[in-house]
Chain A
Amino acid sequence: MSTEERIKRPEPERTQPIRSWSTLFGAPEPGGKSLQDVVSRSVDLGYRVVDEYVRQGQRAAQRLGERSYRPENMVSDVQELTARLAQYASEFLGVWFELLELAASGSAARRMAAANGAPTGPAPPPAAPAREPSRPPRVRIEVASAQPAEVELDLRPEAAGAALVVHALRCADPATPRMTDVTLDLRSPDDPLTLRIRVPGDQPPGVYTGVILDERTSLTVGTVSVRITPGP
């Protein structure tokens, strides 16, 4: 049968949903005419930056899949990515410091208002007694890997004394298999915590990250990150 005689389906414009659109009914309306709800408006404003990051990430991923992608493109993309991450870190830290400042100034303002005899509203209930600042636990890291591997561990003070569990480590690309052979052991309170990571021989190079949780509260108390680079 010749291909000319046969009727075929048209080429699809796309084959997957665009789940990052924030509307139930598909593409956002131009001009945001129906964004009357203040929540939606503030949400859209607040998310502009993050959406831009997502779009850039998608564009980079798409380019990586193109046959015409060249090493010089990669260099420029990595530079762009680094700049973006630096910008993000800077914004994040800025906000964090701002919070600390606010927390301090808030309490200072209360103290000052009280000293001046200004009305301060109902007295707050007594704060919980401050705990002794705790230090992150000592950690021993054991890595079994046929490929070069760098491990970065970030444990917060809340991890001290808690029973910890670590999630499987994931790569940004969901199609990449996870690293599941990752454990955290504490033989006795006097021993250091032992983080064991076994990297399968066929694990694709990349950066794999996972969170460390307090088993009792399920709260995040740290992160672990493993960078696998191609062997010589």
Chain B
Amino acid sequence: MRELVRLAEPFSFPPTSATQPSPGERVVTPRRSIKVAIIGGGCAAVSAAFELTRPEHDGRYAITIYQLGWRLGGKGASGRGPAHRVEEHGLHVWLGWYENAFRLLRECYAELDRDPRTCPIATWRDAFAPAPFVGVTDRTPDGRWIPWNHLMPPTEGFPGDPPGAGQRMGIRDYMVRTVMLVRTLLEALQGRDADGPRGSRGEAAPEDAPRERPRDVVLEAVAGILRYGELATLAGLIQGVALLEVIMGSLPRYPENVVLRFLDAIASNARGLLDARLEGDPALRRVWHVIDLTLATLRGEIRFGIITDPRGFDTIDEYDCREWLLLNGAAQTSVDSGFLRALYDLGFSYEDGDPARPRVSAGQALRGLVRAFFTYRGSFFWRMQAGMGDVVFAPFYEALRRRGVRFEFFHRLENVGLVDPARLGPGESPYVEALDFDVQAEVIGGRAYEPLIDVGGLPCWPSRPDFRQLVDGPRLEHEGWEFESHWDRRKARTRRLRVSRDFDLVVLGVGLGAVPHVCRELVARDPRWRAMLDHVKTVATQAFQLWMTTDLRDLGWVEPPITISGFIDPFDTWADMRHLVSREGWAHAPRSLAYFCGVLADADGPDPRDPGYLAAQHDRVRRNAIRFLNRDIGHLWPRAGAAPGRFRWDVLADPGESRPDPGGTGEARFASQFWRANVNPTERYTLSLPGSSAYRVSPLDRTYDNLTVAGDWTDCGFNAGCVEAAVMSGRLAAHALSQSPALEDIVGFDHP
């Protein structure tokens, strides 16, 4: 594939010196500049830079971002490959509750003020489109996998809107919303039940049920329902759940035992009513799974005292989510359902990448679920309208350069050097004294590297570096230097930055997987950091993308574009990304585009110290993908098989079709597609294992008085691997250095 990549001309930034801003850029001359070295260029690092260079700081912070290789983005980096197709690390969708991430990106687009006549993605609304259609898959007793698709209704506002519009959610409010969800599901069942006593619905329309009834009236109603068995019908259940809604709204007024008894009565009656009908009705079974899990959650929230514990959902951080739900009465079948499997799949929550070891902190999982379901704005999912690099990191790069931020590409951090404790003054905290880098390549003339290319008016990142800008570029290209490979240690030279001379403060924004390699001294000296590495783990992931000459309807998928999870390992998540084809540069545009991803087990494959490890893992993913397409994809795309167990390889679009040696036939044609194993330490996904939150280091931690950390692996309020956590962490890191933004302004940091 590599020989097919044609780089466009670099995007038109004026050439600049590595040390001096160009005449076209804003010259920042702070009164008393504080030099900040930000290491890494992912969401967290870029967010920290964006905060520290706000005009309100009046140029107080002089920022330099040190980046491995040729592009920003970290795990979210993307590149343009052959036919300018988008090539991602995996599937990235933004959720409608990513308040911090959307807020910063919206500000970035507003600041750039791109011209819509020349740039196809000029505003954030051009960059993201609602994606409300979501799905999970369930396995039937006869071994089939059936998708369960659902349109999540739009909600008011947009993510990143100013706060205050109905977003005051505490655990008690979530519980009310959860009960409302149960009621809605039961009402839906009543609606589809021809024999159901529909007439009763109007007698006390639950949606109109006053929520501020006197307590004695509510308690009397509860006592009556329990005494007379009024939950024995679906209509009675709905009335009971409506009453539960009232109770949840002011829970402390009611004795815990009564509430639990009432919950249990509702659960056992619902189970009794539906149990006999579940077997032959997959749709009913799915609804029941959600009801069952929801009731178990409510029971657990009361029983474990989450609503009163100052730790919020962290009260149950030590439990695995499935374990905790079972503990609170969920049925094994509900815990094994597609709904819950999708929760684990979307978070790659498999320890060591082993599908047999699903593990995620119950507290973090619940926090994520309530945020996802009850606080999304506009749309449940938002889809990027180009690669994540193009939509997110190119705009940030442009904005930060305008603000005077310097970028040092091809800088690989090798060590964070700490001061010798013997040299510390009385009462002085330890600090970072030096930063050691390998400079992977030099830019010709000492200029700044220009990383972007123009694709139809849109600044984009290429999938490969522009060797033409590099000293000895043709040789490096010929020798196949892999700047993002952990196993390629080649370099042009070394470079040491010293405190006070080259930097004052440091933001360590690398991925957690890289920490053991680049912070050896820190880890050796600090038991907290060692404990963090022992407990906060990462996992490798795998992904592939298919461009096809036929549309999905021809392959048997007749639903609208969807993001679906809970499917067969190892590619349990699929997204229909057909909308991106028009952003690419194909001579003959494919008619469909599909992204797949999942975890990649650590146990298999060669020794990670082997120089051939990366290539071997990429090849492993290729084989996994071919097997998956031959064997499994037919469950979703029933007409994708040329014969049983054989995918229709001829539908794959080859960007090199016009070459003398086009992509071949049969399985060999898969070589024209894109796949990757995310096994580089910086690319590994951060897990939220049970009991691990307490071991995370916070960006606010001040053990080292000139260092802060940023990344979704830090203790940032939302301790899970996602864009929002990374942005929150970046904002916290900026706060740690500058006391801005205010902690109360970081949405969700103080969330229960």
Contacts and interface: CB of A to CB of B under 8 A. Distances in A.
A38 B706 CA distance: 47
Interface stretch (A141-149, A182-190, A217-225): A217-225
Q: Most B CB atoms within 10 A — which of A10, A12, A29?
A: A12
A50 B744 contact: no
Interface string A102-137: 110111000000000000000011111000000000
A38 B163 contact: no
Contacts of B227: 103, 106-107, 127
Interface string A21-42: 1111111110000110111111
A34 B250 contact: no
A33 B229 CA distance: 42
B170 A22 contact: yes
27 contacts: A3-B425, A5-B500, A6-B504, A9-B505, A14-B700, A14-B743, A23-B750, A24-B375, A25-B163, A25-B744, A34-B168, A39-B249, A42-B211, A42-B249, A43-B249, A46-B253, A57-B310, A99-B255, A99-B258, A102-B220, A105-B220, A124-B229, A125-B232, A127-B227, A127-B228, A174-B311, A213-B327
Interface in B255-294: 255, 257-258, 260, 264, 268
Nearest to B717: A17
B716 to A, nearest CB: 9
Q: Which 6 A-B pairs have the closest CB atoms?
A: A22-B170, A26-B744, A19-B312, A103-B223, A124-B228, A46-B250
B252 A125 contact: no
Interface residues of B, number: 85
Given A27-B744, A40-B168, A96-B255, A10 B308 contact: no
A9 B708 contact: yes
A76 interface: no
Given A6-B706, A12-B700, A37-B166, 13 more contacts: A1-B419, A1-B499, A7-B706, A12-B736, A20-B752, A21-B170, A27-B750, A34-B164, A49-B252, A95-B253, A98-B216, A127-B227, A218-B327
Given A50-B252, A103-B223, A125-B229, A42 B212 contact: yes
Contacts of B311: 19, 174
A196 B701 CA distance: 42
B111 interface: no
Nearest to B751: A24
Interface in B631-677: none
A42 B250 contact: yes
Contacts of B428: 3
A74 B749 CA distance: 33
A68 interface: no
A75 interface: no
A22 B171 CA distance: 7
Contact of B702 (A11, A16, A38, A46): A11
Interface of B: 34, 163-164, 166-173, 176, 211-212, 216, 219-220, 222-224, 227-230, 232, 249-255, 257-258, 260, 264, 268, 303, 308, 310-314, 326-329, 375, 419, 423, 425, 428-429, 431, 433, 499-500, 504-505, 698, 700-702, 705-708, 715, 717, 735-739, 743-752
B168 A46 contact: no
A210 to B, nearest CB: 12
B565 to A, nearest CB: 25
A219 B264 contact: yes
A65 to B, nearest CB: 15
B743 A26 contact: yes
A69 interface: no
B310 A20 contact: yes
Contacts of A1: 419, 423, 433, 499-500
Contact of B752 (A8, A19, A26, A54): A19
A19 B268 CA distance: 33
A85 B752 CA distance: 25
Contacts of A95: 253-255
A8 B745 CA distance: 23
A13 B736 CA distance: 9
Contacts of B423: 1
A42 B250 CA distance: 6
B223 A12 contact: no
A2 B425 contact: yes
A187 to B, nearest CB: 25
A176 interface: no
B745 A38 contact: no
Given A9-B706, A102-B216, A218-B328, A22 B172 contact: yes
Contacts of B212: 38, 41-42
Contact of A106 (B223, B505, B743): B223
B329 A24 contact: no
B255 A12 contact: no
Contact of B750 (A18, A38, A39, A125): A18
A2 to B, nearest CB: 7
A39 B327 CA distance: 29
Contacts of A47: 172, 252
A15 B743 CA distance: 10
Contacts of B327: 213, 218
B702 A126 contact: no
B355 to A, nearest CB: 26
A14 B700 CA distance: 8
Contact of B505 (A7, A14, A92): A7
Nearest to B738: A10
A103 B707 CA distance: 62
A198 B156 CA distance: 56
B698 A16 contact: yes
A105 B254 CA distance: 18
A24 B229 contact: no
Contacts of B329: 217-219
A5 B428 CA distance: 13
Nearest to B236: A125
Nearest to B374: A24
Nearest to A58: B310
A211 interface: yes
Given A9-B505, A46-B250, A218-B328, A103 B310 contact: no
A45 B250 contact: yes
B314 A19 contact: yes
A163 to B, nearest CB: 14
A128 B637 CA distance: 50
Nearest to B419: A1
A6 B176 contact: no
Q: Most B CB atoms within 10 A — which of A19, A22, A45, A53?
A: A19
A131 B499 CA distance: 78
Contacts of A50: 252, 308
A7 B751 contact: no
Contacts of A34: 164, 168
Nearest to B169: A24
Nearest to A34: B164
A99 B223 CA distance: 8
Nearest to A49: B252
A112 B219 CA distance: 19
